[in-house]
Every structure is written in C-alpha cells, then in structure tokens.
Structure 1
C-alpha cells in the first residue's frame, strides 16, 4: 500500500489532475461573470469550453502533466503558466479578429486570467506539499537500483538518500565488469548500499517487477555494454536511466536534443533562455527601474562629492566580459585617482594609495556599484549573477582556473552567490579565485527565480558592507 497505491492508480489520478485544471478555468470564468452581475450568455459558456479544451491541448503539448518528481516546483509552474498565457493570447486574438470584444467584459476576463493563474500555482503547491509529506513517510515511493559500483554510482546513491522528498527508495547495487569500487567499501554505508547480484540478476528482478527505477552508472567506455543492457531492459517494466560520468564536475545545464536523427548532449549551456530568459529579463527591468528611481538623489549627491573632492569624471567605465564573453562597458563611480582599463589592471588592495578618501567609503559600502543598475536597464548586466572582472583579470585567470570562462554563460550581476558567501573583494591568491568561480558555477547550475530572491535578500541583510572590499 505504501509503495504502490498512487502508482497503480496513476492514470486515474492523472485524469483527476486534468479535470481539476479544467474546473479552475471554466468554473472560475462563470464565477467572475456572476460576481460582476453579467448574464451567463452562450458567448461566455463558449469561451469557458474552448479555453478549457485549448488549455488541455496546450498543456499536453508542453508536457505539463508529466511526472515532476525530480524537477523543481518553479519549472513545473513556469510550464503551466506558459500554457495558460499562450491560451489567453490565442483567445484574445480570436476575439479581436472576429470583432466580438463588445460581447465580453474586460474586467471579467482580467480577473479570470489572473485568478486562474494564481489558483494553478496554489493548488500545485498544495499538491506538491502533500506528495512530499507522503514520500517522507514512505508512501508513493519508487524502488530503485543502481548497476555499477563506481564513483558515479556512489554519488547518485548519496543524492538519492539525501533527497527524501523524492520518494525514491534505493534497494542496492548490481555488479558489472566495469566496477571500480571494492564491495567491502560499501559495508559502512548501511543495508541500502548492499550488493544484490550481477547484471543478469538485475534483469531477472526487473522482469519480476521488483524494480521500478534502474540507474545504469557505467563509464562511457562501456558504450556497447550499455546499449545491450538497454535492449534487454526493454523487455521489463522498469524505468531505465543512464548515469553518465562525462564531465560530471563541470556539466553546465546539460540536456539532450536532436539535430535530425542525431542525438546531441549539451554539456556547457546556459539555463537562462526561452521562458526563463524572459522571466529573468522582466525581473531585471522591474528591479532596476524601481531602484534607480529610489536612489537617483543619492547618486546625484555621490557624483557631486566625487567631482568636488578629486579631479576626474564621476563615472568610470571599464571594459569587462559579459554574456558569452562579449566585451561590455561596466559603469561605476570613480573611487581611484587612476582609471586602469588596459592590458594591465592592478586589483585594489588593503590601504591602496590610489583609492580616494570618499572612494574608500564607497567601495566599503558597495555604493560605487550603483551606476551598474543603468547597465542592467540597458541589458548588458543582470541584478543577480557572477561579478564581472576586468578583461586583464579574465585573461590572467582563464589560464589557471578550471572552468573560469563558464561564468559567462549568464549575464554578469551586481551581486551574486559568491559575494553573499564571502568571496568578494581582492583575489590575491589563485585559491580565492577558484572559490569564487566555484560559487559562480553553482549559481549557474542551480539558477531559479527563488535563488535570485534569496541572493537579493541576503545582499540587503549582509552584502552592502564587507571587510574584504578595499
């Protein structure tokens, strides 16, 4: 009962899931029509019916109703809202083209559009919480096994054990001829890390229905063996996944796509594209516009103070690398007597004589970064992202820090994951830069709107003043 009720009835649950979405759309529209005391005419009923069917078709095409067990809530919601927005766009376009807009109330449609989106999010959030609650208590779980005793397999086992809310129960490992780990090393990991047999036993157990999920964690040199396993597992009801050890530590937004009949694995790519790219851009536009409006008097005062206290411009532009490594001009308040922007740029250090008295205060409080909100508004930077470095520093560190240039798979930001974790300021050792890059790549791998909010909140709380900012 614990492991199988929802799985055995998943088709029925899937139908109820879709029906509930349909009820939210159709009943929601009728509610707002009555709330604003309009007559429930045939036109309103037609709109409700067409919208419900249209959303169902759009949601199916975007795979809104697939299993989201191992995916983020934000990703699930973004696909759902995208389907709803596309449906609304099509419906409103048809109403406009057919010149029937006079038959519909803009107030009703506006309230219906917003409330439906909110209800989609709210009920999916509640449903996900319920599933997480059940899975952490052993219900709605899936039995999983791993073929291959090696580093990739052990790493996967650890991740499965850590993600209790996924409801994946690891039964153990099956040996293969490519194993790299001694079975005795598994003794300290508990019964879930026990060896259940060889590959032939794995196939037999899968045929007997003892395995729900099978992870093949074999090295890429075992390509022929993996292909044969996939053929043999096709005769079982188990769901099979291949765990590749290719670039495990450096994989950035890996995904599989197709060029004709060729399967292509994307290894280094950006997570911020398509719908997520628009979400990120709207976030940047709203935040930068609001912040610039609020801080414009402060920026005027700082600019005048710089002009009065030291010779030179108030704003200093320095060439740095932006998205995809393209050069951009980053704006800052001038804090030094020099304006280095060539092949040699010396980082500011403690008690640096080049820093002006007011510049020292601006750097310590990060107020010198305020003009970069103009860069965000222009589109060359983002509010949250890896901090951009001078071109000279990029050329220096790309040669000695592994994965350094992968930082440029997203737009550079005013604040970032590395900065709120203490890796800000002077990088006088390779180790410090390596840690900064490590956190930057973590941000890119795990980017989400919620992560941006977390970084912004942390920046407000702890990020303005930093002891490492010289």
Structure 2
C-alpha cells in the first residue's frame, strides 16, 4: 500500500501531554479571569505559581493513573475514566498543597470546583474529536498501521469489524490468511494460506499480525512465530475463549515470574477501585444532602402511621460473600431482621399502607446511601440478596456468586431492565444474574451515571 505519511505512535503521547496540560491551565485561567478578575488582577507571582503547580500536577498525576497507556488502541470510555481519576488526584493534591503552604485563601473555591467539572469534559471532548475525526482522516490518507489476520473464524471477523468501526485505532486490515486452505471461503480479503503469512509480512512491511487461532493449535503457533522472527512485526494472539462465558479480566499478569492470562478478576481492582470508591463517596454524599428532607418526611410518616422503629437492618451478602447489615425504612408491621425471613410478596398482609407506598416507589431503599458512605455498598452494582436467597440460588444458577466480586449496589443494570423486587421463577433470577455479570464485564463511570439517570426516571415516584 502506498502511504503518504505516517505519524509515529511515539509522537502522540508527548503531544497529548502538552495538550492536556495546556487545556488544564487554559481552562483554569479563563475561569479565573471571567468569574474572579478583581482579586486576581495584578498578582503575577500567584498566577505564575498556579500555572507551574497545575502543569506539574497534571503531567505527574495523569502519568500515574495511566492516561497515556496504550493511547491509540484504547476506547474513549476507558480513557475518560482514567482522565476523571487523574483530575480527581490533581484536585486532591492541590487541596493538600494549599493547606500545607497556607495559600488556599488566595484562590477561589468556586473557580476550582467549576474547573473540576469543565476541564475533564473539555479533554474528553478533544479525545472524541481526535479519535473520531482526525484518525478517520489519517486512515483515509494512508497514515495507518497495516494489519494482517491469521484466521477466518468469528474472532478474526470481529477483529476486522472492530478496526473498521474504530478509526482512532489507526489500523487498516490488509487481509486474512486461512489456516485451512488458500481460499478463505471465497473472501475477497483473502491473501493466501497461513503458510504464506511470514513471507507476506516481511515483503510488505506489515506492522501488526493478529493470530485469531484456537488454543489447541500450538504447533502452528510455534511455526508462525519462528517464521515471523525475520520481521519487525508485532504479534498478538487472540485465542478462542468462548468456553469461558463468564470471562472477567482477560489481562496479562506476572505471577511468581510466570505469565498468566487473567480469566476472572474484579473490575474494581487497583486504580478502578479508587475511582469507584471516589464516585461512591462523592455521589453518596451529594445524594444524601439532596434527599435528607425527604427522609425526614418519610421518618415522620412512619412514626405517625405505625408502631415500631423508622429504620431496620437486615443481613445481606456483600463483597466476596461477606454478610453485612443493610439499612432500610421499615415497611412492615413486623421486624424480621435475622438471616431467615419470608420475602415480601404482592398484597403481603405484613406490609403497612404507608410501607406499600414506599416500596412501590423504591423510597424504602433511601437509607442505603448510609451503607454507601460506610463502605459496604456502592451506589451502582448488583442488588444485594437475602442470605437465605443466596444459599438457594447459588446452587441453581450458574455464575450466581460472580456478582459478589463487587460491592452490592442501591441500583443496577438488572433493575433498570425490569428485574427487581419479587422473584417469580428461576428464569427471572437467571436473567437478573446475566445483567449483573454484564455490568461487571462492561463497567465504567459513564455506565454508572447512565444507570443512575435511568433509575430516577423509571422507578422514582412510580405509581
């Protein structure tokens, strides 16, 4: 293929480091001059200190949280998650430095808080434009990385489709090599049999080779790797993992000096866990402030309409299957707070009239934001089930206990898709668990925000 030019992959990261710092400092200064011009006017030393400190913190914290790791091939959602986490660390570091050096009074809290929301939105928008528009233009003008795929099955086809749909990856598929014969099932993208792949890669300066082959093809893999040693191509192996239908992770780890493929791991390990906990603390605190008057009215209503406490605690399974006590508004005449209890059903005589209103509108769940701040629940995650229900369904539903590799949530993907409350049959539970697993496999901050918004519009005040 005739390439007009190629942007070296190594250039993109330094360029984005410069742009991220420039956007951060630029947005901050614009906000200052627009919202707080008088106190900041004529204070050149303070402005210089702000610029230098902000630049250093952006470069160091963004590097620390992995914003520039695998930039070209990462998706926008994952990158924005890392950007948000980096912004949080920059903000936290600025607060600590301001407190330690006693200079926080020189700067506007309102401006800093506005910056905290506007700056990451600007950066994520820039990433979207670059990856959706610039890379498409780059691809159309021959500035792409050439890829060949060994294997014509579902995995090979899905790789080609992803590259076609995601131009920001900066890749172009030259064609396929068939492990069976040289016809590739009649595909026009067929370049020959798999034995011809090493020669083609060497003669055509191919940068990437994707091996989409079964794991059992070890002799063929060894043969290909040996043949590709006389080229500079990078080689990626995509084994058929379809038998691992509940795969969570898929990363590569080093354990005891050995390489391991992570088949299952918590999506909230490491940096993602810090981001998830930060999200829970910020959202949990803000939501509690907003709903506090409503909770006071509910507490008053409970006291006026029935005897008994306002709250009750009930045992649930939480992270890693550890039991914890969940907070709820009392909705029944009885107080069943042990491990064994009879789940509520439609028209249950134990439910009070006011309790029925609370349950119907999901208002009995509001005290669980206290669990979020306490740390044994998240705002979004698989809903916690009663201990007795867990013990029953873990034997009936495949993958049931996978939901416990994360903290349980007040709402979740299953709930916004209609699987909440009473379980009528095993199929209801299987569908609920499939949504829980789907959430854990695809978690992002943006997915959490989407679920929260849909929860508000689908469940709040539902009659």
Please state which band the TM-score falls in when normalised by the shorter chain.
Answer: 0.7 to 0.9
| 2:177 is the alignment partner of 1:174 | yes
Q: 1:64 to 1:355 in 2, by over 3 A?
A: closer
User: 1:83-102, aligned counterparts within 5 Å?
Assistant: none
The whole-number CA distance in structure 2 between the counterparts of 1:314 and 1:195 is: 69
The whole-number CA distance in structure 2 between the counterparts of 1:116 and 1:230 is: 48
User: 1:107-186, aligned counterparts within 5 Å?
Assistant: 107=107, 119=119, 122-123=122-123, 125-136=125-136, 138-139=139-140, 141-163=144-166, 166=169, 168-176=171-179, 184=185
Q: Is the 8 A contact 1:147 1:173 kept in 2?
A: yes
Name which of structure 1's ranges 212-221 and 164-173 shifts more when overlaid on structure 2: 164-173
Counterpart position of 1:348:
344
Q: Is the 8 A contact 2:177 2:184 kept in 1?
A: no
Q: 1:400 to 1:154 in 2, by over 3 A?
A: farther
Counterpart position of 2:394:
398
TM-score, normalising length: structure 1: 0.79
Structure 1: which 5+ runs fail to align?
A: none
Q: Is the 8 A contact 2:81 2:444 kept in 1?
A: no
| 2:281 is the alignment partner of 1:285 | yes
| 2:263 is the alignment partner of 1:263 | no
Match of 2:107, SS state, is helix
Match of 2:373 among 361, 372, 377: 377
Q: Is the 8 A contact 2:91 2:116 kept in 1?
A: no
The whole-number CA distance in structure 2 between the counterparts of 1:299 and 1:89 is: 31
Counterpart position of 2:195:
200
Counterpart position of 2:430:
434
Counterpart position of 1:461:
457
Q: RMSD of aligned C-alpha atoms?
A: 4.1
CA deviations over 1:362-401 (Å, ceiling 9, x no partner): 2211111112122112111111111111111111111121
The whole-number CA distance in structure 2 between the counterparts of 1:116 and 1:371 is: 29
The whole-number CA distance in structure 1 between the counterparts of 2:367 and 2:97 is: 44
1:44: Cα distance to partner? 7.6
The whole-number CA distance in structure 1 between the counterparts of 2:88 and 2:291 is: 34
User: 1:299-318, aligned counterparts within 5 Å?
Assistant: 299-318=295-314
CA deviations over 1:180-230 (Å, ceiling 9, x no partner): xx954xx6xx74xx4432222222222123644322122223345435534
CA deviations over 1:307-349 (Å, ceiling 9, x no partner): 4544544323211111121111112223234445556544433
Q: Is the 8 A contact 1:62 1:79 kept in 2?
A: yes
Q: Is the 8 A contact 1:30 1:40 kept in 2?
A: no
1:128: Cα distance to partner? 3.2
1:106: Cα distance to partner? 3.7
| 2:391 is the alignment partner of 1:388 | no
| 2:326 is the alignment partner of 1:323 | no
The whole-number CA distance in structure 1 between the counterparts of 2:288 and 2:71 is: 39
1:119: Cα distance to partner? 4.8
Name which of structure 1's ranges 22-31 and 233-242 shifts more when overlaid on structure 2: 22-31
Counterpart position of 1:244:
239
| 2:68 is the alignment partner of 1:72 | no
CA deviations over 1:147-203 (Å, ceiling 9, x no partner): 2244433444454455466454444432226x9xx954xx6xx74xx4432222222
Q: 1:434 to 1:155 in 2, by over 3 A?
A: farther
Name which of structure 1's ranges 121-130 and 54-63 shifts more when overlaid on structure 2: 54-63
The whole-number CA distance in structure 1 between the counterparts of 2:257 and 2:420 is: 46
| 2:364 is the alignment partner of 1:368 | yes
Q: 1:384 to 1:115 in 2, by over 3 A?
A: closer
Q: Is the 8 A contact 1:386 1:418 kept in 2?
A: yes
Match of 1:257, SS state, is strand
Match of 2:210, SS state, is strand
Structure 2: which 5+ runs fail to align?
A: none
The whole-number CA distance in structure 1 between the counterparts of 2:204 and 2:87 is: 38
The whole-number CA distance in structure 2 between the counterparts of 1:258 and 1:380 is: 30
Match of 2:288, SS state, is helix
The whole-number CA distance in structure 2 between the counterparts of 1:115 and 1:63 is: 21
Name which of structure 1's ranges 236-245 and 403-412 shifts more when overlaid on structure 2: 236-245
Aligned length: 453
Match of 1:221, SS state, is coil
Q: 1:400 to 1:146 in 2, by over 3 A?
A: farther
Counterpart position of 1:332:
328
CA deviations over 1:421-457 (Å, ceiling 9, x no partner): 1222222222211111111111112111111111111
